[in-house]
Structure 1
Amino acid sequence: MSNDRSARHGHETRSPPAGRSSAEPTVLYVDGDEGRRETETTRLAAALDPVAVRAAESGAALGESLAAADCVVSRYELPDTDGIALSERVRDRAPGLPFVLAVGDGSERLASEATAAGVTDYVPVDGIPSERLVDRVAAALAERRRLSTRDGIENAVEHAADAILLTDIEGTIEYVNPAFEELTGFSRSEAVGRTPRILKSGAQDEGYYQELWATILDGNVWEEEVVNETKSGEEYVAHQTIAPVTDADGELEQFVGIQRDVTRRCLLEEQIERSAETLERLYAEVADETTDLQSKIESLLDIGATHLDYPLGYLTRIDDDTQRIIAAVGDHDAIQPGATDPIERTYCRRTVTSDEPTIVSDAPREGWADDPAFEHFGLRCYVGARIVINGEVFGTLCFGGEEPREELVLEAQQSTVKTLATWLGSELERHRYEARLERQNTQLERFASVASHDLRNPLNVASGHLEMARETGADEHFEAVAENHDRMATIIDDVLTLARQGTFVETTEPVSLQSIATECWEGVETEGAELVVDGETTIQADAGKLRHVFENLFRNALEHGTTADTDHAGEGLTVTVGPTDGGFYVADDGPGIPPADREHVFDHGYSGSDGTGFGLAIVDSIADAHGWSVHVTESRSGGARFEFVVDGTGHADGDSPTAATIEWLRSSLDEL
């Protein structure tokens, strides 16, 4: 018997020989002749030692002795019947019990009748136990032991959990248990009479088979791991043991093959190794603190997808009811940076609600066939873990593919993906902290500049007029002092607004563009100007901070929007607010902003009139705090037009889509 190996772990150990039965075999000798019965019983016992021979004068005298008998030897001539009739009675009471018929005067007719009756052996004798009779009884007892041993083995393995097969010494299958049928797909009738090569373990060289046969024929055990095929062609990994089976005398009778399915164990071992490689490679790639966030994210997705064996890996941002793909690796039309989907048609809707990663090994089989997520993305396997920053769900880290995977594989990967998501959350939090610290430092520098320059000028002017007032007592000097004090108060208010409003957005809500624009317009002295809201949309924003955006833009338009038919600022001016594909705009029909000045209008201290120069800087800072971009251009009527991109796609020319996405990620961290 042989099975082709794919991985040899085998050790060779001596198989202990089968031991003798603790009870002596028993032979029943039936003979109506008392003298002959006693003589031949004694002679048979001596010749067959250590066999116990018991005598009976007739078939009726056998009684309950048959239950303990291993063989019946009977003369043909009996007082109450003949040997052939007795053999039939014995068969009825003890099927399989060997029956040897001894005849004094044999004939072909009698031999034919005996054979037809199913006696084990027919032996002519001359009145004394011949060597031939002894040999036939010994052979019958040996066969009895062999069959008993085989039946015992089969009974023992019939309900075994491992797949077991028995072969003859030539390697032909004689028996397989139900576990073998279940594992391989071959029924008992299909396997018996064939060899283990039906499992297609793969071709081996002649040296392999010579070593295998030499091992088991020498009474040793052969062990290895093999990759077999089931009847349907599906591969499985089996730990296989092949051992010899001997009779009571130590003679080789059969081989037993035991196969334990270790496919799942091998898959688990492989995934553990892959997980370790993933974490080691990730550490080596991104441990350098100088590596930028974009590179770390790309490395994490690439390493995770490669080592965990997925064609796709992606990072998402979950915002209310929307999933946005921030970064991705792999070729999939619906999984690309910047793509958005309602969360109800994504796999991540389950991921964000669970502390443990979500796994899907075969979506259609697990009830996803009619699910919007499967219909849209078509991923049959998926594993995803949520990313949490400061106790709030930021998004998810996911891997998947369009082919099913073993559930055990995904279960083994859960802890690795969770570790990657936790690490990524820490990196995003650190980046958020560093970005906030950098902004705060920049803000402090700006405030210091304001304190040293913007406030110093009116303070110097006020001090000069105060000195003149002391010398002359003229009222105009006191009025100048008061005006400069008012200007300093205005600057201080704007600086405080910039500090409080243009930092970070903690929470957002849906805000009506029409409602907030109208509300802010009513809170500004419009001096005869008109507001037009051209269309309606909803913006996800901090409503309080957004009010400062509109109020400052409206004041800026009114201060600079002198029209051709009046010298009064703002009079006759029309300010228009409306939605765009990616956000909204605020435009006017005033004189506009010269192209050369447009890139500077958001700088602190920039002012085209007597303003503080902080109004548009406040607008820019609040937009930046939301993760938006804002730029100024020319309106249709030639005035100023401020355009806001709120969906993360508005970035400076030359930025790559990936860089733009990561920049949006950087700013969107402020929303937590």
Structure 2
Amino acid sequence: MREGPPDEALDRPTGGRAEGGRLRPGVFISGRRTTGVVSTDDAVRVLCVDDGPGVAGLVAARLSRADPEMETEAVTSASEGIARVAAGGIDSVVSGYDMPAIDGIAFLELLRATDPDLPFVLFSGRAEEGPVSDALSAGATDYLPRQSDPGQYDVLARRVRSAVERLRSSARPGSTGVSAAVLETAPDAVVVYDEETVYANRAAVTLFGGEGAEPDSPAVDDAVATLLDGIEPATDDGIAYVRRSMTDAGGRSFPATIITRTIDWDGRPASLTVIRDLSGRDRNESDGERYRIAFEESTDALVVVDGDTCLDANGSATQLFGLSRPELVGSDLTAFVPEDADVATPWREFATAREGMKSMEICRDGGGRRRVEASATSLPDSGNFVWVIRDVTDYVATEAELRHDWAALHDIYRIAADQEAGFEPKIEQLLKRTREYLGLPVGFLTCIDGEQQFVEIASGEEDVIGTGDTCPLSEAYCRKTIRYEEPLTVQDASVEGWEGDPAYERFGLGSYVGAKVIVDGKLHGTLCFAAHEPRDEAFSAAEETLVGLLARWVGYELDRNRVTEQLRQQNNRLDEFASLVSHDLRNPLTTAQGYVEFATEGDEADIDEALGVIDTALQRMERLIDDLLYLAREGIGIDSTEEVAIADVVRTAWSVTGAETEADLTVADDLGTIVADRDRLRQLIENLLRNAIEHGGPSVAVAVERTPGGFAISDDGPGVPVEERDNIFDRGYSTRDAGTGFGLTIVGRIAESHGWTVSVSGSESESGGARFEIDGARHVED
């Protein structure tokens, strides 16, 4: 039989059995771990084991409160713990020490045969050096003394999560070679056997063969065989536990507990047996060696100190302090305390008291600070202390980043959800809060119209980009932003190929993040944040996501405002309709009804007069209905535009309004082409021409000319009195009894829907007349 695998045997399993049931010298049986596989999702499932009344449940509840993503279960015995881990789905075990029959150390040894890597934290009220050393020797991941301070559970949760994440990142496959290597330093004798093979760790070889016995000694095999013959095998799903007197190789009798468990070893069912010597035999020499192994291989920094002087340090400590072991040993550890840090006093208090747990900063050799958590345990024989120091810098930084993100998201949600505030106040606050979150001096919302970019709202440093700024789209960063569905980010424009780009030459932005804004399925513009200086770090996924979500929110808000405005206008048109039906249509209708009665009671002359009045009333009603239907159906929205030759539209409109009159129309040769909705433009011009004929008479002279901002229509009629010019575009306003009062209202609305303005003044004709000018239309040829 071999005491344990050499290092090279861990990943090179071999097997075989000699005649007579004995292992051939130099042969070790390797297998694979089959239970307790650690999951790889973000949740951490922790099994809490303790027999104390309510202790396991309390530890489980406290851990879940300290880390909401930690799922905990509680059992009250090691036997239940073994069964639960074997069932699978457990990422870590937190166990007490003092438990009847199978204590925390024996529990750990039983686990390590099948789960050599499963994180195991001994969380006990006993702080003696013996249990701590035994736990580390048996393969415990960590040890934490249980105290009355609720804050200890935050530390416990961080240590458990850290151990699980280290295991997940290492992804080392379990094997019996790994299990045997862990069991090799266990303080108790451990035997694994089946019908063909026998394995014993170092403590078992010494127990059965005596000091200096060889692993393949026949005496060891005989003693093991005798032991096994007298023990009832464990059931497939349980643990057998007996207490009996035993005799070691030297003839010494001692009380012992013998615990067996059925496991899978190299693909075959076998029994694991742990023999615990209860006589308190001297294990100083083996304990020292096991302590040294645990000391060296601990992932936490372990430092032995006398006062403030370092006497020894493990490899993790040298990495933490940035010094080699010879440099660190003999140094005064208080020299690593930052002189300007507020934690200096707590650090020195901890160094003096050597108790409890502290969170503090240290300075590494060569610069840089690290945030650590430290605890200490005494070495009774020497009076020295072992400091256990865990580097939590990355965890603290991540925690701070998450708090930073949460605070920003909370503020942004509060602003966006404010139903009392209007869009502009909200977007100004959102731009300000988001640029503070991103660490960028300016944020802005743009509108893109064709090949032009216009800054609608800007927040921050005006010398970068300000409200009202405009530029060709070809010279804007946004020309690239609108190409992508996801936000565009630039950490350092000078090294990302922007030098020489028109946008970089014009604005000189060193860092930028922007996303396009879509309204009603169409591009509106962009939401962007920028700075002249490059950014120290790349934009995080959270930052990109936030900018993208804000751009979507802006699009939704603009679309909602658009729909709200449309509803408002529709309601206004309904009001106009109600007014027309109740008043404007009622007047000619009442007149017609009155003259019908007059005609029925009079002679033939009265009938002719009545028919004339009724015909006029009906014509007025027809005009009112036509105008109302236009307002109700068309509204003021513009669905599509095109390039329209003004002269063509004027001739078409004249054929409808002036063809059957003696009026004269003069059209300038260079009226030009504008971008407009053709049908709406025709309606506008028809109404202006009809207005000229109705007020100037059937022989009025009308002229259409080009202006810098569009065109003008003038006549030589009576004109519009100066005091009435501000009112003529109001609904229902007319200077003629037969007028509907809606013709010029429609003109004003069509102009407004195009983004134009319409004004009235006196014409240059000798008789005065009126001149209506459309301004704000863009001539294509200009």
Say yes or no: TM over 0.5.
yes
TM-superposed deviation, 1:601: 1.0
**1:171 & 1:465 partners in 2: Cα distance?**
119
**2:370 & 2:757 partners in 1: Cα distance?**
61
Match of 1:530 in 2: 666
**1:322 & 1:358 partners in 2: Cα distance?**
19
Match of 1:316 in 2: 446
1:205/1:421 CA distance change after superposition, 3 Å: closer
Match of 1:34 in 2: none
Which residue of the other structure, out of 636, 653, 656, is the alignment partner of 1:503? 636
TM-superposed deviation, 1:275: 2.2
Matched to 2:625, the amino acid is: I
What secondary structure sits across from 2:664 in the alignment?
coil
Match of 2:466 in 1: 336
1:608/1:529 CA distance change after superposition, 3 Å: farther
| Percent identity for Structure 1 against Structure 2 | 32
TM-superposed deviation, 1:559: 4.2
**2:327 & 2:648 partners in 1: Cα distance?**
80
1:472 maps to 2:603: yes
Match of 2:622 in 1: 489
Q: Please give the TM-score of this superposition, normalised by the length of structure 1.
A: 0.58
What secondary structure sits across from 2:494 in the alignment?
coil
**1:189 & 1:633 partners in 2: Cα distance?**
98
TM-superposed deviation, 1:270: 4.2
Match of 2:345 in 1: 207
TM-superposed deviation, 1:618: 0.6
Q: How far does the alpha carbon of each residue in 1:307-338 deviate from its partner, in whole angstroms, 9 at most, with x for none?
A: 55443232233444443322222232573334
Match of 2:73 in 1: none
**1:451 & 1:338 partners in 2: Cα distance?**
45
Q: How far does the alpha carbon of each residue in 1:1-45 deviate from its partner, in whole angstroms, 9 at most, with x for none?
A: xxxxxxxxxx9x99966979989xxxxxxxxxxxxxxxxxxxxxx
1:599 maps to 2:726: yes
Q: Is the 8 A contact 1:172 1:195 kept in 2?
A: no
Match of 2:42 in 1: none
Alignment of 1:250-399 (within 5 A): 262=394, 265=398, 268-282=401-415, 286-288=418-420, 291-333=421-463, 335-399=465-529
**1:173 & 1:615 partners in 2: Cα distance?**
98
**1:259 & 1:473 partners in 2: Cα distance?**
114
What secondary structure sits across from 2:668 in the alignment?
strand
Matched to 1:575, the amino acid is: V
TM-superposed deviation, 1:614: 1.7
1:622 maps to 2:747: no
Matched to 1:624, the amino acid is: E
TM-superposed deviation, 1:533: 6.3
1:209/1:336 CA distance change after superposition, 3 Å: closer
1:292/1:254 CA distance change after superposition, 3 Å: closer
What secondary structure sits across from 1:618 in the alignment?
helix
Matched to 1:618, the amino acid is: I
Q: Is the 8 A contact 1:362 1:381 kept in 2?
A: yes
TM-superposed deviation, 1:264: 6.2
1:642/1:255 CA distance change after superposition, 3 Å: same
Q: Is the 8 A contact 1:221 1:242 kept in 2?
A: yes
Q: Is the 8 A contact 1:629 1:644 kept in 2?
A: yes
Matched to 1:642, the amino acid is: E
Matched to 1:488, the amino acid is: M
What secondary structure sits across from 1:336 in the alignment?
coil
TM-superposed deviation, 1:392: 3.9
Q: Is the 8 A contact 2:362 2:371 kept in 1?
A: yes
Matched to 2:732, the amino acid is: G
Which residue of the other structure, out of 677, 687, 710, is the alignment partner of 1:542? 677
Which residue of the other structure, out of 718, 725, 741, is the alignment partner of 1:613? 741
Match of 2:712 in 1: 586
1:204/1:420 CA distance change after superposition, 3 Å: closer
Which consecutive unaligned segments of at least 5 residues does structure 1 have?
Answer: 1-10, 24-49, 53-141, 648-672
1:327/1:495 CA distance change after superposition, 3 Å: same
Match of 2:689 in 1: 554
TM-superposed deviation, 1:370: 3.4
**1:460 & 1:403 partners in 2: Cα distance?**
76
Match of 1:640 in 2: 771
Q: How far does the alpha carbon of each residue in 1:174-210 deviate from its partner, in whole angstroms, 9 at most, with x for none?
A: 9999x979x99x9999999999979978456863553
Q: Is the 8 A contact 1:174 1:193 kept in 2?
A: no
Alignment of 1:564-583 (within 5 A): 569-571=699-701, 573-580=702-709
**1:443 & 1:472 partners in 2: Cα distance?**
44
1:559/1:437 CA distance change after superposition, 3 Å: same
Matched to 1:443, the amino acid is: R
**2:498 & 2:771 partners in 1: Cα distance?**
52
Matched pairs, number: 492
Match of 1:438 in 2: 568
**1:326 & 1:379 partners in 2: Cα distance?**
19
1:461/1:440 CA distance change after superposition, 3 Å: same
**1:395 & 1:325 partners in 2: Cα distance?**
9
Match of 2:100 in 1: none
Q: Is the 8 A contact 2:515 2:526 kept in 1?
A: yes
Output the aligned Cα RMSD.
Answer: 5.3
1:341/1:635 CA distance change after superposition, 3 Å: farther
1:411/1:172 CA distance change after superposition, 3 Å: farther
Q: How far does the alpha carbon of each residue in 1:114-164 deviate from its partner, in whole angstroms, 9 at most, with x for none?
A: xxxxxxxxxxxxxxxxxxxxxxxxxxxx9xx99xx89x96xx89xx9x999
1:237/1:379 CA distance change after superposition, 3 Å: farther
**1:194 & 1:403 partners in 2: Cα distance?**
43
Q: Is the 8 A contact 1:274 1:307 kept in 2?
A: no
Alignment of 1:630-669 (within 5 A): 630-633=758-761, 639-645=770-776
**1:643 & 1:485 partners in 2: Cα distance?**
33
What secondary structure sits across from 1:364 in the alignment?
helix
What secondary structure sits across from 1:604 in the alignment?
coil
Q: Please give the TM-score of this superposition, normalised by the length of structure 2.
A: 0.50
1:490/1:345 CA distance change after superposition, 3 Å: same
Matched to 2:527, the amino acid is: L
**1:251 & 1:433 partners in 2: Cα distance?**
80
Which consecutive unaligned segments of at least 5 residues does structure 2 have?
Answer: 1-122, 139-180, 186-209, 213-284
Larger radius of gyration: 1
What secondary structure sits across from 1:553 in the alignment?
helix
1:297/1:255 CA distance change after superposition, 3 Å: closer
TM-superposed deviation, 1:303: 3.8
